[in-house]
Structure 1
Amino acid sequence: MIVLRNISKIFDHGKAPITAVDKVNLSVEQGQIYGIIGYSGAGKSTLIRLLNGLEKPTSGNVTVNGHDISAAKGEALRQARLKISMVFQHFNLLWSRTVSENIAFSMQIAGTPKAEIRTRVAELIELVGLTGRENAYPSQLSGGQKQRVGIARALANSPDVLLCDEATSALDPQTTDQILDLLLDINRRFSLTIVLITHEMHVVRKICDRVAVMEDGRIVEEGDVLSVFTHPQQPITRQFVRQVSQYAEEEAFNQELASDLTGHVIKLTFTGHSTHKPIVGELTLRYGLPFNILHGKMNQTAHGVFGQLWVHVNATQDQLSNILADLQQSGIESEVIKHG
C-alpha cells in the first residue's frame, strides 16, 4: 500500500542545510494502522507531508497504492491526493461554514453532484457521531466535535489512506480516547489504511498495529506494537514506553527491590494467551516454595494483552535454573532482577 524507499528530505534556505528525513525505508500494508512516533524536530511531520506530495523528497521515492507520489505532478498528483486525506492537529475547519458545509467542501471541489454530496454528508455525520449538529458552526463545537468534523471531511471522498498529523494532541485524555476509538472503528469497518504521527505512546498502544520510532530524521526502531512495548531496544523507545504511567513505576520499584529483599526476584513478562495462566500457583505446587507476588500490571494493545509480574522466592541455584526453564517452556519470558 505505502512504500518509502531510501527517502531523504533536505531543506536548504541559504544557511546550513537541514536534513529533516534521512534515508528512511518504510512499508505500510493495506488496512494497517501505522504509528510514527518521535519528539519535536524528529522529522515525522515532514515524513507525513512526503506521503501526500505536499513535500517532494530530495532523494528516494514514495509509492502510495501503486502511484509514485514523489514523481507525480499536475493533474496526476491532484488525482492521487483525492485518495490520500489528512486530519490535522488544530482541525483546520472553515469557520464561516457549518458542520455539513465543512464536510461537503472537498466533494464540491472534486465536482461531486449535489444530490450525492447531501447523501454522503448525512452518512458521515452519523458515522462520526454528530447527528443533530449539522447546522452548528465550529465556534459552537467542543474540541472533540471539531475533530469529528475533520475526520468526516477527510473521509468525504472515500480515500484509500488517512493521514493523522497529531490528531489528538489538542484534546484532553477522555476525548483523545473517544477519537481513537472512532479511528479504530473506521479502520475496521472500511479496512482504511491509517498513518498517524504522534509524540504520545498511549495513542500508539491503543490503536496501532505497527510503530516506527523517529529520531534526528531517521527511523531508529520499528516493529509490531506488542514487541516494541515489551522489548524496546533503543533509549528513545524506552523513554516513550515510560510515558505510559505503569512503566514510570518500574525503575523506582526495581531500585527498592535491590536494597530491601533477600532471595531471588524474578520479573515475568506475559503476552497473549499466557496472561491467563496460573503460573505462580503452578510453580508453588511444583517446587513447594512460597512465591511472593511483589508487583504486577497488565496493558491492552490493539493486538492483545501483555503483562508483567515481579515475584520473590528463596530457592537454591538449581531450583532457580529449573524455574526459569519451566517458565520458558510455558512461553513466559523471565529475567532475574536480583539474585539471592
Structure 2
Amino acid sequence: MLKVKGISKIYDSPCGKKQVLEDISFTVQNGEILGITGKSGSGKSTLLKILRGIETFDSGTIEIDETAISPDMGQTGQRFLMSNSALHLQRNFSLWSGKAVENIIRRLYYAREGYEALPDNDHPLYDEMYEEAMAYLGIVGLKEKALHFSGALSGGEKQRLILARQLASRPSVLLLDEPVTMAGPDSKQQILDIILLLKEKLNIPILVVSHLPEILSYLADDMLCIDEGKIVASGDSGQVLDKFLHGMADKKPLGTFSEEVCVRAENLAKRYSLWRVGEVLDLKDISLSVNRGEILGLIGPSGSGKTTLLRMLAGLLEPQSGRVLYSLEDNWIDISRFSPQRMEMRRRMSIMHQEFTLSPHSTIGQHIAFKLRLKRQGAIEHARQKAEELGISEKMLDTIYQLPDMAEAEKEQSLSKMGLTPQVYLELFPAWPQLDVAKYAEPVFDALDLSPDILEKKPAQISGGEHVRSYIAVSLATSPDILMLDEPFGDLDPITLRDVTNSLKEINRRFGTTIVFVSHHMDFVKEVAHRAVLLSGGSVIEEGDARQVCDKFIESTGVTYIGKGIDGMISK
C-alpha cells in the first residue's frame, strides 16, 4: 500500500521561489490504479519523481508497506524509494543500443550486481536471466521482437520495452508517466491491457499520469486532478474528468484549401532489415499528393512507417526508389535528391520532430533570430559565397543547410562526420544587422495567442503549453510555405491541445500554410486535419476525409479504450 501525506515541494527558479506541490495527500491500495490528470506544468511529473526518490521534497511523508519516508531522512530515504519503485517517464526512450532482450538482461543484472552491464554468454546465470527476460518481453507482447535492436523499434514498441525493464526491477510501487504517448491505437490498447494485467499479477499500487482522458477512464479505479500544485478534484474518474474538461475552449472551424497540388510523392519505397531478424519495415509503392493550404494527417499502427514517410516527404531521408516533388515557382523540384534548387525549397519549409526542444540557454527571441538567419531572403546566396571562400562544396553546403531541420543528436553526429562544429553556422549564416525579431514574431504570436513578453524569456520561464506554442512560433516566424510535424503534441493535456489545435487552424487559415503531420491521437487528427492517409503493412490503404479515415482505422483495430471520445466525457 502507498500512503502520501502532506507532500510539498518548492523550486528555486530564475524568477524566484516557486511552489510546485502543496499539501498533496492520497492513498493507493495494493492492486489499485490511481489516475492523475491536470494541465501541463501542474506538478504531476514532479510528484512521480518524488515518489521514485529522484527528486527531494520539503515536507510530508511517503509510506510504502508501512515504512514511512520523510525529507529529513535524506539519501537514505531516497535510496529506499528508488529500490522499491519503478518509474516510466514521458517521452523517455533511454534504451541501450543492443537487442531488446539484452535491455532486460542488463536490468536483471543490475538487480544482482548493483550496476547495469551485459554479462557474457558463459556467465553462470546468463541462461536464467535470458529466460526471465524473455518472460518479461512476453508480458508486454514483445517476445517476437527479442532480437530486434532497440533503435529499430517503433515508438510504441520502445514504450513497451521500457515497461518490461521496469517490471524486471520487481517494484513495490509502479509509476507510469504518460505510458502510451507515442503509441498508435492498437499499441495503446495492448499497453493498457498489459497494465490491467499487471494490476492483477503484481498486486501493487500503480499510479498512472496521463493527459489522455480516455486512458484514465479505461484504467483508473480512482482519480486526482492537480492544478497549480494542489489537488482540486478526487474520486470517481468520470466526475473528475468532467470537471477537468470543462475548462476546454470551443473548437475553431477548419479553413478551406486550394485544389492546386504543391507536393507529389511518386512510388516511394524504403526497406529496413536486421541481421538475424529479417525485414522490419517495407514501405513500397507509396504515392500521394498534398494540396496547397491543406492540413494532411498521416496515421496508422505503430511501426507502419509514418515517421519514415514523413522524413522522406521532408527530404531528410532518401527513398530507395521513387521521388518527392515540390512545386517551386512553376518548376517541380525533387527534394529527395541533391540539386542546386533544393536549398531554396528547404528554406520555405519548417519541421518539428517527436523529440522537439528549445535550448534552455537562449530566449525565445534568440531562437527565432537563429531561424531567421538561416531562412530569410538572401541567406542562401550569402552562404554560397562564404562556402566558396571556406572550400565547402555546394553538396556539402546543402547537407549543412538541412541539419537544423533534423533532431539534435542526428545533427551533431552529421556535423562530426563532416569534421565541422556548430560554429560553421555563424560563418555561413551570420547575425542579421538591425534584425527586428518582434516584427517577424508579431503576426505568428498573435495567431498563437502568445504574449510578446515571451520573446525575452527562456524555456524554463514559460509553461508547457507556451513552450509548445513557442516552438511552433519559432518554426513559423520565417513564414514557411510548408510545416511538417512528427507527433509533437502527444504529451499535451486536452485543454492545452485544444488551444494548440485552434492555433494551427488559425495559422493555416490566416497564412495559407500547408501542414503535414504524423499523429497517434485520433481526436486530434479528426479535429485539425482536412484529410488523412492511413498506412498499414507498408502501403497506403485508405485516404480521404479525416474523420471517416480515422473512424475506419479505429474500427479496424478493435480497440475498446477510446469509448465516447473527449466530447462525450463532458456533461452538457
TM-score by length of 2: 0.40
Give the structure with the higher percent strand: 1
**Equivalence for 1:88:** 89
Which amino acid in 2 is paired with 1:39?
Answer: K
Given candidates 176, 180, 185, the residue that maps to 1:168 is 180
Alignment of 1:163-312 (within 5 A): 163-228=175-240, 232=242, 234=243, 236-239=244-247
Given candidates 103, 106, 130, the residue that maps to 2:142 is 130
| Residues 215 and 80 of structure 1, relative CA distance in 2, 3 Å threshold | closer
Q: What are the Cα deviations for residues 176-209 of structure 1, in whole angstroms up to 9, with x where unaligned?
A: 2221111112212222321011111111101110
| Residues 180 and 239 of structure 1, relative CA distance in 2, 3 Å threshold | farther
Aligned partners of 1:80 and 1:217: how far apart in 2? 21
Which amino acid in 2 is paired with 1:96?
Answer: S
Q: What are the Cα deviations for residues 32-68 of structure 1, in whole angstroms up to 9, with x where unaligned?
A: 1111101111110111111111111111122222233
Q: What are the Cα deviations for residues 101-139 of structure 1, in whole angstroms up to 9, with x where unaligned?
A: 111222212226544422310211111111221121112
- Conservation of the 8 A alpha-carbon contact between 2:95 and 2:162: no
Which amino acid in 1 is paired with 2:99?
Answer: T
- Conservation of the 8 A alpha-carbon contact between 2:29 and 2:204: no
Q: Secondary structure at the match of 1:135?
A: coil
Q: What are the Cα deviations for residues 161-188 of structure 1, in whole angstroms up to 9, with x where unaligned?
A: 1111111122233322221111112212
- Conservation of the 8 A alpha-carbon contact between 1:103 and 1:121: yes
**Equivalence for 1:67:** 67
- Conservation of the 8 A alpha-carbon contact between 1:89 and 1:170: no
Deviation at 1:96, TM superposition (A): 1.8
Aligned partners of 2:133 and 2:168: how far apart in 1? 7
Q: Secondary structure at the match of 1:212?
A: strand
5+ residue gaps, structure 2, are 114-124, 251-492, 499-559, 562-567
Deviation at 1:157, TM superposition (A): 2.3
- Bigger Cα displacement from structure 2, 6-15 vs 137-146: 6-15
Which amino acid in 2 is paired with 1:218?
Answer: K
- Conservation of the 8 A alpha-carbon contact between 2:54 and 2:82: no
Aligned partners of 2:127 and 2:67: how far apart in 1? 30
Which amino acid in 1 is paired with 2:170?
Answer: S
Deviation at 1:98, TM superposition (A): 1.3
**Equivalence for 2:275:** none
| Residues 111 and 74 of structure 1, relative CA distance in 2, 3 Å threshold | farther
- Conservation of the 8 A alpha-carbon contact between 1:56 and 1:70: no
Which amino acid in 1 is paired with 2:59?
Answer: S
- Conservation of the 8 A alpha-carbon contact between 1:20 and 1:42: yes
Deviation at 1:76, TM superposition (A): 5.9
Q: What are the Cα deviations for residues 219-265 of structure 1, in whole angstroms up to 9, with x where unaligned?
A: 10000224545xx4x4x35347x999xxx9xxxxxxxxxxxxxxxxx
Q: What are the Cα deviations for residues 245-295 of structure 1, in whole angstroms up to 9, with x where unaligned?
A: xxx9xxxxxxxxxxxxxxxxxxxxxxxxxxxxxxxxxxxxxxxxxxxxxxx
**Equivalence for 1:147:** 159
Deviation at 1:15, TM superposition (A): 3.6
Deviation at 1:80, TM superposition (A): 4.0
The alignment yields a C-alpha RMSD, in angstroms, of 2.9
Aligned partners of 1:228 and 1:39: how far apart in 2? 13
Deviation at 1:25, TM superposition (A): 1.3
Q: Does structure 1 residue 37 correspond to structure 2 residue 45? A: no
| Residues 176 and 132 of structure 1, relative CA distance in 2, 3 Å threshold | closer
Aligned partners of 2:77 and 2:227: how far apart in 1? 33
Deviation at 1:82, TM superposition (A): 2.6
**Equivalence for 1:260:** none
**Equivalence for 1:101:** 102
Q: Secondary structure at the match of 2:145?
A: coil
| Residues 17 and 219 of structure 1, relative CA distance in 2, 3 Å threshold | same
Q: Secondary structure at the match of 1:189?
A: helix
Aligned length: 246
**Equivalence for 1:5:** 5
Aligned partners of 1:193 and 1:74: how far apart in 2? 23
Q: What are the Cα deviations for residues 16-43 of structure 1, in whole angstroms up to 9, with x where unaligned?
A: 2111111111111111111110111111
Q: Secondary structure at the match of 1:34?
A: strand
- Conservation of the 8 A alpha-carbon contact between 1:96 and 1:137: yes
- Bigger Cα displacement from structure 2, 37-46 vs 90-99: 90-99
5+ residue gaps, structure 1, are 249-299, 302-307, 309-334
Aligned partners of 1:47 and 1:193: how far apart in 2? 15
Q: Secondary structure at the match of 2:3?
A: strand
